[in-house]
Structure 1
Amino acid sequence: MKKNTTSKSQKDFLFVLIKSLTTSEKRQFKLYVNRLGINADAKFLLLFSELDKMSEYDENIIIEKKVSTKQQLSNLKAHLYKQILVSLRMNPSHQNYRIQLREQLDFANILYQKGLYKQALKILDKSKQTALELDEKSIASEIIDLEKVIESQFITRSIVGRADELIDQSKRISLQNHYTTELSNLSLKLYSEMLTHGYVKNDEDRLEIMQIFNTQIKNIAFEKLNFTEKLWYFKAHVWKNQLLQDYKYTLKYAYQWVDLFHKNPEMIASHPVWYIKGNTYLLKILFLYGNIDILEEHFNRFNEKVYSSSFAQNENLQSLVFLTHYNTLMNIHFVKGEFFTGTKLIPEIEMKMEKLRDKIDEHHFMIFYLKMAAMFFGSKKYKESIHYSMKVLESKGNVQEDLIFHTRILILMAKHESGNDEDYDEFIKETQRFAKKMKNPEEFHFESVKFFKNLNNIISDKQLKAFEAFDEKLELFSTNEYYRRSLLYIDIRGWIKSKIQNQDVIEIIRQKVKYKRRH
């Protein structure tokens, strides 16, 4: 019974919205209702109080307490939902320039309808200048459309060439909006390809992505693009090169994406989400390259900006900053081989994960759990490593197959190291079955399962040859551009080399860091 209630509560939008409200937002809602002169016993207020007290959504309680009948409840909830949104719109913490521009456009519409044309035009002209400065062409276009409507009814003879000016502005904005539409459509298509089909697996996949990309991009003249179009242009290139696993060009365009904001710092406040996302890709690709000095330099610059008082604050941005900050921080510890230090972060991360559970998708949580498991593995705490790995395998969410497969490999590594091999053979069989059921299984997946299956049947003094043979196969996989991604989830090669060289895996990582710093 409880399971059904939880499922319902997650689906009930009104309940989730009320639970997301801060104390100050709840207080403002009550003040807003009082200003409307609504009776404190009004049913939608009673419903608000009742839902606020619930830990889980239960419709039966509302009906039992006669807050509403079953027939009236749907309409009552819809009314309450709307009133909460109106109250939130008035909250200063949710005010931004887009809402303010829309508000000015609404005011101009009201003045126009009252026949106060000059007053309406004055508001529109000021709002249009702000919209153009902020590269908000959609709103600017709406403003110009209203200006044209008013001018067609009320000729402002004091402004010479007013009609030509509006026509010229309208044409220029229409062209820029066309570029924005083309580039945003391309970016969204590529992003969708990445989520639905994953990275390219062969030449046929590569050809298909290049065809999608080139068909759209060939008509774009970069020198004619403004800020927003350039932003979409760089996004499209980042996602294309991510799909192609071409990390050199992913790095190039991720850097240009972030640099675009640094060259136009006023736009960070206008597009904070895309500033965070650009840094997310840049920091991720720098981690894959392993150059710790450059990674830390960009990480510090990111933190300096997003934790400054001038950076916008809301729940969405907080969750995005959390993901980028802690993923990068853990990546830095991985690059340096600082596993023991990394494990000390885990309680802090888990506490923040719990607070943001409703705002972050399951896949991101699973990535964190895999990283935690890898941190414990590097710290030689194999029991804890298996514990966090199992959180990934037991997830009911939509988790990528590669992530699950590599979690299984990490468990096999931990079982081998700890000597806890009671269910080793059964786990191998399960992993083999999983690999066969994958949508796009690769040779790497089957060879990995084969290696661990044989490893458990080889006596200790002959295991070295097995490690050396598997290392040779991993070397071949690393030269294949379509297998490259498979070797990035966990550092299986570092572990294999540590066995061959009879060194701690931390020492192997430290050698790589020194090499990257010299080059």
Structure 2
Amino acid sequence: MSELQKDFLFVLIKSLSTSEKRQFKLYVNRLGINVDAKFLLLFSELDKMKEYNEEIILEKKISSKLQLSNLKAHLYKQILISLRLNPSHQNNRIQLREQLDFATILYQKGLYKQALKILDKAKQSALDLDEKSIASEIIELEKVIESQFITRSIDGRADELILQSTEINKQNSYATQLSNLSLKLYSEMLTHGYIKNDNDRENILNFFDSNIKNIDLKKLNFTEKLWYYKAHVWKNQLLQDYKYTIKYAYQWVELFHQNLEMIKNHPVWYIKGNTYLFKTLFIYGSIKGIEKRFEKFESIVKSDAFIHNENSQSLIFLNYYNTKMNLYFIKGDFFNGTKMIPELELKMEKHRDKIDEHHFLVLYLKIAAMFFGSKNYQNTVKYGQKIINSKGNVQEDLLFHTRILMLMAKFESGFDDDYDDFVKATMKFAKKMKNPGDLHFGIVDFFKKINDRNPKEQAIAFNEFEKELEISSQNKYDKRTLMYIDIHGWVTSKVRNVDVIEIIKEKVKLK
């Protein structure tokens, strides 16, 4: 998408469904605004555009350049108000805040009893849904009203509100502490990646332990438990300790299954928990584990009770296709996996504006790997090139392993006119990485060795490198490098002169 297309108002309008556009126009008409109102004309013009073009707006004299910024801001606000009124966007949090707003208006009019009645009902709902931040705001407003509205029961009410306020503040403190820890660990994973040595490991463990040592799981409610499990998942992901990643991802998902009403309140976190669980089960090669839990996940997200909006649908799309492709990889069923790619690409285009570039590139890498497994090396290189040519901020590991997969495809296909140049470019890239390991350079050196060698010399090189990879596979800090692309399986297949699919099936049996 071009920079011009990223105009916030334009993107918002393009995200609207037909029914949402219809509702916006009905909302505007209810306001009694002239049909020629400038912001409505601007809406119609932007709706017709395929790409954002400010010059057309100015040429049609919808607005002057000086006034356009304010007009766009006003239209943006009106669209958001219209969307807020749309029943499809209503959720518990919005409804609770609406009740809090109503009570505030009644309080300002001096209708204290009516305000307190609404607040008491809303507070109970907020506590039932574990929405403690909103419950805390409700209690604070109750305190304000009670301090001005004198009743005989003020003593009892005061003690009740003080007790509720103290308990909620304590729980909010836990939630803040755990959410800060989770966010920091997630940020660490995105910015620096997985640990690469003992020093990294010690730093993560010290940071984690210092932030969680005073937290007692037994004292936590739903929201704090959710952050507690998230923090443990992200910590163990960083440490590449997948046994414990599965444990806490499972507890994260089961927390929702034990509190089914919370899935509606936190649909995104339900999807994310399942995503981490499926990914880690894939690392363990657990076909039955994935299929069993994936079936339950699908039944829940397809139910009428689940919140279906653009955000949740985009996340379900990612989870569904990543998991389906992972199952094809585990089974070594590459040829059937490639049959799904046309359907996947159509869905990718549909969700492009809702998902960040990184997740799209991961899907491209999986598509490239699927083509490699089915011996379609030309398409492997084609989709790998999409990742390399990406202009976004792409993770180094993703770029490096894309290059390795492409080298494997170039070697296998025999279409290797640019093979030497590509090896040199890959080595140059490895040297520029923030924390390259010896294994990174060893892999590139191997590809440099095997080109232009006779079959006997290549066989020797494959044998030697297979032994090196076997040693690396025992190194806990090299594990991740060998998980991205199964170069170890490919090299082993060459040493034993069998199809790589046979190696994959052997590994699954062993796991």
What TM-score results when the alignment is normalised by the length of structure 1?
0.97
- 1:419 & 1:453 partners in 2: Cα distance? 15
- 1:399 & 1:327 partners in 2: Cα distance? 19
Q: In the alignment, which of 335, 340, 349 is matched to residue 340 of structure 1?
A: 335
Task: Map 1:319-358 onto structure 2 (within 5 A).
Answer: 319-358=314-353
Deviation at 1:514, TM superposition (A): 2.8
- 1:241 & 1:148 partners in 2: Cα distance? 43
Q: 1:8 and 2:1 equivalent?
A: no
Maintained 8 Å contact 2:175/2:227: yes
Task: Map 1:296-335 onto structure 2 (within 5 A).
Answer: 296-335=291-330
**Alpha-carbon deviations, 1:200-229, whole Å to 9, x = none?**
111111121112111110111111100000
Q: Which segments of 5 or more consecutive residues in structure 1 lack a partner in the other structure?
A: none
- 2:464 & 2:473 partners in 1: Cα distance? 15
- 2:413 & 2:198 partners in 1: Cα distance? 41
Deviation at 1:397, TM superposition (A): 1.1
Deviation at 1:512, TM superposition (A): 2.2
Q: 1:227 and 2:222 equivalent?
A: yes
Where does residue 162 of structure 2 map in the other structure?
167
- Output the amino acid matched with 1:282: L
Q: In the alignment, which of 365, 377, 384 is matched to residue 382 of structure 1?
A: 377
SS in structure 1 at match of 2:3:
helix
Where does residue 290 of structure 1 map in the other structure?
285
Deviation at 1:241, TM superposition (A): 0.7
- Output the amino acid matched with 1:392: I
- 1:77 & 1:421 partners in 2: Cα distance? 53
- 1:199 & 1:288 partners in 2: Cα distance? 15
Q: In the alignment, which of 87, 96, 118 is matched to residue 123 of structure 1?
A: 118
Deviation at 1:482, TM superposition (A): 1.1
- Output the amino acid matched with 1:506: I
Q: 1:81 and 2:48 equivalent?
A: no
- 1:457 & 1:463 partners in 2: Cα distance? 9
Deviation at 1:160, TM superposition (A): 6.5
SS in structure 2 at match of 1:67:
coil
Q: In the alignment, which of 503, 506, 509 is matched to residue 511 of structure 1?
A: 506
**Alpha-carbon deviations, 1:275-302, whole Å to 9, x = none?**
0000010000000000111111111111
SS in structure 2 at match of 1:313:
coil
- Output the amino acid matched with 1:108: A
Where does residue 396 of structure 2 map in the other structure?
401
- Output the amino acid matched with 1:115: G
CA RMSD of aligned residues (A): 1.1
Where does residue 461 of structure 1 map in the other structure?
456
Task: Map 1:338-487 onto structure 2 (within 5 A).
Answer: 338-487=333-482
- Output the amino acid matched with 1:32: Y
**Alpha-carbon deviations, 1:138-161, whole Å to 9, x = none?**
000000001111111112325771
Maintained 8 Å contact 2:358/2:394: yes
Where does residue 150 of structure 1 map in the other structure?
145
- 2:31 & 2:346 partners in 1: Cα distance? 39
- 2:478 & 2:456 partners in 1: Cα distance? 31
**Alpha-carbon deviations, 1:380-410, whole Å to 9, x = none?**
1111111111111111111111111111111
- 1:220 & 1:124 partners in 2: Cα distance? 31
SS in structure 2 at match of 1:356:
helix
Q: 1:26 and 2:24 equivalent?
A: no
**Alpha-carbon deviations, 1:169-226, whole Å to 9, x = none?**
0000010000000000000111111111111111111121112111110111111100
- 2:203 & 2:264 partners in 1: Cα distance? 37
Q: 1:280 and 2:269 equivalent?
A: no
Q: In the alignment, which of 38, 46, 63 is matched to residue 43 of structure 1?
A: 38
- 1:221 & 1:155 partners in 2: Cα distance? 40
Q: Which segments of 5 or more consecutive residues in structure 2 lack a partner in the other structure?
A: none
- 1:65 & 1:36 partners in 2: Cα distance? 25
Aligned length: 511
Maintained 8 Å contact 2:341/2:367: yes
Q: Which deviates the most, 507-516 or 284-293?
A: 507-516
Deviation at 1:33, TM superposition (A): 0.3
- Output the amino acid matched with 1:324: N
Where does residue 205 of structure 2 map in the other structure?
210
SS in structure 2 at match of 1:329:
helix
Where does residue 490 of structure 1 map in the other structure?
485
Using the aligned pairs only, state the percent identity. Answer: 71
- 1:177 & 1:510 partners in 2: Cα distance? 49
SS in structure 1 at match of 2:62:
coil
Q: Which deviates the most, 383-392 or 33-42?
A: 383-392
- 1:354 & 1:404 partners in 2: Cα distance? 22
**Alpha-carbon deviations, 1:85-126, whole Å to 9, x = none?**
000000001000100000000000111111111111110000
Deviation at 1:306, TM superposition (A): 1.1
- 2:471 & 2:408 partners in 1: Cα distance? 21
- 1:478 & 1:312 partners in 2: Cα distance? 43
- 1:296 & 1:132 partners in 2: Cα distance? 35
- 1:232 & 1:382 partners in 2: Cα distance? 43
- 2:206 & 2:189 partners in 1: Cα distance? 15
Where does residue 261 of structure 1 map in the other structure?
256
Maintained 8 Å contact 2:146/2:154: no
- 1:474 & 1:53 partners in 2: Cα distance? 57
- 1:270 & 1:63 partners in 2: Cα distance? 44
- Output the amino acid matched with 2:413: S
**Alpha-carbon deviations, 1:213-270, whole Å to 9, x = none?**
1111011111110000000000001111111111111111111111111111111111
- Output the amino acid matched with 2:5: S
Maintained 8 Å contact 2:463/2:495: yes
Deviation at 1:32, TM superposition (A): 0.1
- 2:293 & 2:458 partners in 1: Cα distance? 42
Where does residue 185 of structure 1 map in the other structure?
180
Deviation at 1:457, TM superposition (A): 3.0
SS in structure 1 at match of 2:484:
coil
Deviation at 1:52, TM superposition (A): 0.6
Q: Which runs of 4+ in 1 moved over 4 A?
A: none
